[in-house]
Amino acid sequence: MKGLENFSSMVASMASHAGVTAFAQSEKVRSLFRKRAERAAYEYIIEENEDRRPITVQKEKLRIMLNLTETAFKRVEEGLYSKSVIRHGIDIFVNEVLFSPKGKTKKVIDDFVARYGRRPPGFLVIGPTKKCNLHCKGCYASANSKTAETIPFSILDRIITEKTELWGSHYTTWVGGEPTVYRSEGKNILDIAEKHQDNMFLMYTNGVLINKAMAKRMGELGNVVPQVSVEGFEKETDARRGKGVFKRILRAFENMREEGVPFGIAITPMRHNAELLSSDEFIDFYFEQQKATLAWVFQYMPIGRGYSLDLMITPEQRLRLLDREREILWDKKLFDVDFWNSGPIGSGCIAAGRSDGYFYIDWNGKVMPCPYYQFSPVNIFDVYKNGGTLNDVYAQPFFEAIRKWQDEYAYRREGDETGNWLRPCPIRDHHKIALEKIEKYGAEPEDEATEQWLYDEEVHKGLIEFDEEIEKLLDPYWEKIYLKGERVDPDPRLPFTSSKVPELELRFNE
């Protein structure tokens, strides 16, 4: 395709020092880059559509990509990204992550497909340490300041090297515990980022330790993008995370803006705060005033320390949140992705090593489908001791069974035969399925809190009832909007007054 070829050539030239300087300083260069990127994305996602996804699904994928591009360009124009950030964004994120692989990466992926019959995982989610400087209510990781559970630096280094060499993966996500407190073999978490300049690192963090020195190093490295957890404003954030945390987060934002570090926010909608976290006041504060680039939404999952069904949003709140998030996507044109409600954007559940998806590795080396599906069939430390690699992890029957369910539910179905990706998650939206896989394959709970959860009949009963209700609410929404491209009937429960498929506004057509 001509548009993709032209854009690839431009990306190759832009990765140089001169190209980055021109990009940062010239509006004309940025405008041309933007138009070619949009044309390439349209060809790749809408016209090519190699997996034959429903067209509305593809339009949302293109819209979210354009939203991220628009905000990123705005931040460049505001002088909020360092030159190193711009270079890595072009060279790694655009060149290696967004579009079809090329060169060495393509060969690695082709070799994997020849061996396993599908594309490899696209990234890893890693909890490098369980240690945390805070003690937040309802922490899914049950993290604390006293634990010594940490992946040795040498093992962490090997994991990143191996996933890049075996899977062609150039993207890694850090979760907690708290990544900024990681220490091992005299190294910290930014030393990994420095050693692996061919990877982009998304780091979920409470943010309170991002002082001027740490922000300066991030800006110089250019391949670390922090996502700071907030619960709302000062009252809500301090209530869950501790007095004074919100003000320390605002200082971290200031430090990152000054040093040209892109950052986002991570939020956890619960029964008491779901409306606040999707309100105009909240969105405008973090995107317009604090200059966040993106937002990630993790609906509260009753697992981990002090898990409670009473904190989980109700089925009707889930529907309202979905509808509101589509308004943020289409009207506000922001990158606001919910790991449940934005299922269509990721083609459903991306856990368990699905093609272009991920595994989760915790601080003890346990490999799990995801941070919320806390059951492990294998430990990476044991795999390495026995002479294995990440491909031995990939081949575990427990993970393969989950991938098979993903395929049969929706991932390998085409067009209007695709299952409902608005309820994509096995552990949350298809709870019976998750329990069946755990029992059949004998996957071990991550810790004592997860073991307690496993035998808690009340929590399973509540989750199954939740699933039954959201099926009734979300299946008609999926069928009308995503499979038929029709407006849903007026519903007073929904805040988005035009719940349909809006038309794409494309810059390259201007």
Q: Cis peptide leading into 177, omega within 30 of 0? A: yes
Percent of the chain at pLDDT > 90 equals: 71
The stretch 336-358 carries a mean pLDDT of 95
Report the pLDDT value the prediction gives residue 408, as an integer from 0 to 100.
96
Residues 223, 192: Cα–Cα separation, whole Å: 11
Which of the two residues, 205 and 11, has the higher pLDDT score?
205
Q: What is the pLDDT of residues 27-54, one digit of tens each?
A: 887 788 788 888 888 888 999 998 899 9
Report residue 290 as tokens. 């604090």
Report the pLDDT value the prediction gives residue 20, as an integer from 0 to 100.
65
H or E element in which residue 126 lies: strand 123-126
Residues facing 506 on adjacent strands: none
Percent of the chain at pLDDT > 70 equals: 89
Residues 443, 432: Cα–Cα separation, whole Å: 15
Determine the residue type at 340.
Answer: W
Residues 444, 232: Cα–Cα separation, whole Å: 35
Residues 243-258 as b or e (16 or more Cβ within 10 Å = b): eebbebbbebbebbbe
Contact 341/418 with Cβ under 8 angstroms?
no
Contact 231/297 with Cβ under 8 angstroms?
no
**DSSP string for 195-253:** H-TTSEEEEEE--TT--HHHHHHHHHH--EEEEEE--SSHHHHHHHH-TTHHHHHHHHH
Residues 291, 75: Cα–Cα separation, whole Å: 8
Residues 6+ apart with CB under 8 A from 137: 240, 306
Residues 229, 265: Cα–Cα separation, whole Å: 6
Sign of CA dihedral 124, 128, 132, 135: positive
Least confident of 98-112, 355-369, 420-434: 98-112
Report residue 77 as tokens. 């124009």
Report residue 177's pLDDT band, with 50, 70 and 90 as the boundaries: confident
Report residue 241's pLDDT band, with 50, 70 and 90 as the boundaries: confident
